[in-house]
Each structure stands twice: as C-alpha cells, then as structure tokens.
Amino acid sequence: MIYGIGIDLVRIERMKDVVERWGKKFIQRVFTKNEISYCYEKKNPYLSLAVRFAAKEALIKAIGSEVVVPLTDIEVISSENGKPVIKVNGKLKKFFDKKAIKQASISLSHEKDYGIACVVLEK
C-alpha cells in the first residue's frame, strides 16, 4: 500500500551557488558525512549534491506536513550494485516506525542543468 509519493527538481547551478555562498555551514546542515564524501569523490560534486537534495525534498513531500525532520535524518546511499537507497535516521526513523512505513523507493536522474528525484513510500 502506498503511503505517499514525492518528486523534486533542482537546478544544479543553483546548488553550486548555494554551496559556494554558504560552504560547510550549508553542506553539514543538509548532508550526512557519507553523502558529503560520496559527492566530493565525483568529478562534479554539485550534480550528486543536487540529486540528493532533491531526494530529501521529495521524501519530505511524500510524508506531507505530518512531521518536521532535519535533512540529515534522510541519507541517500548506494547499494552494492549502485542503486540509490534511502536510509532514515533519528526522528524520521521513529516516524516511519509509528506509521508502519516499510519501504522508501527512490529514483534519481540528472541531465545538463537539472537533477530530479522521485520517492515512493510504502506501508
């Protein structure tokens, strides 16, 4: 049973501008250490940062306004085969348990100027 669906689109250049303006303060407030390491290993870290930010926003849209969580409670990691996976922590993990949300499926994509993410939450 689907609990919620969310989608978000981020302009990659906008992510670059925000990171250049706010630096570590922004990065550490939004991304986990694992996400930061993964993104900065890439040739263009802003691409990876943008789609991860879009994923976090898409997940928040999927849960609606039922709970406010820090963005670092949402972590986008890669499985062994490279598939993106959402890992929930802290307050968001408690919310998932309370609502019996068993799965958060995610799809990420980027093309030239934009990164997009879609999240489907299942009970």
Q: At what angle do helices 45-63 and 12-30 cross, to 10 degrees?
A: 70
| 93 counts as catalytic | no
Find the catalytic residue in 16, 61, 87, 99: 61
- Helix (DSSP H) and strand (DSSP E) numbers for the chain: 4, 5
| 61 counts as catalytic | yes
- Starting from the edge strand earliest in sequence, which strands make up the sheet with 114-122, in order? 2-11, 114-122, 103-111
Return the structure tokens found at 1.
Answer: 């049973």
Task: Kindly tell me the burial class for residue 45, based on how many C-beta atoms sit within 10 Å of its own C-beta (0-12, 13-18, 19 or more).
Answer: middle
Q: Residue for token digits 């706010």?
A: 22
Find the catalytic residue in 33, 83, 99, 110: 110
CB-CB contact of 113 with 16 (8 Å): no
Catalytic residues: 61, 110
